């Protein structure tokens, strides 16, 4: 649990960030860890408390986009999961820097290429290369 303010506790969640492109198709941007506040905003704890509106799934995000509640290239959050299912060791970490280092090490030490909101351009390019290698099949 992470404490927000003095009284309220929120559970850390694993979420996906996406936005709609010019051709009105949703585009996955990255994954992140965050908290959902009382207003339905997802607060990205790995990226200096950046906030995104939360939608249950792509269908509800599409409806909001069609109603003008979401704009082209405006990031939103969907697909929230308890982080413990994927990253149980994160609960031992207290600081943002430690969480970021842990997630970078997870990418490096496992057969995965997870794009995180905190990655810079060079790190994203390395992940794209890793992703290409992971997607190659040998017969």
pLDDT band at 2 (very low <50, low <70, confident <90, very high): very low
Q: How far is CA 51 from CA 41, 75, 77, 113, 129, in A?
A: 6, 9, 9, 24, 29
pLDDT tens digits along 69-90: 999 999 999 888 888 888 888 8
CA 16 vs CA 29, 44, 50, 55, 65: distances in Å = 8, 10, 13, 10, 17
Q: What would the pLDDT profile of 33-67 be if each residue is shown by its tens digit?
A: 999 888 888 999 998 778 999 998 889 999 999 99
Q: Which of 97, 55, 107 is nearest to 76 (CA)?
A: 55
What predicted TM-score, i.e. pTM, was given to this entire model?
0.78
């Amino acid at each position: 649990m992470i404490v927000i303010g003095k009284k309220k506790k929120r559970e850390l969640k694993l979420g996906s960030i996406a936005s709609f492109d010019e051709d009105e198709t949703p585009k996955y941007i990255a994954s992140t860890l965050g908290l959902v506040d009382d207003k339905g905003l997802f607060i990205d704890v790995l990226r200096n408390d950046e906030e995104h509106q939360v939608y249950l799934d792509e269908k509800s995000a599409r409806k909001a986009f069609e109603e003008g509640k979401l704009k082209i290239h405006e990031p939103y959050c969907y697909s929230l999961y308890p982080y413990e299912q994927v990253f149980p060791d994160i609960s031992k970490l207290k600081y943002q820097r430690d969480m970021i280092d842990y997630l970078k090490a997870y990418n490096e030490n496992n057969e995965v290429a997870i794009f995180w909101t905190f990655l810079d351009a060079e790190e994203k390019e390395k992940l794209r290369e890793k992703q290409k290698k992971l997607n190659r099949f040998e017969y």
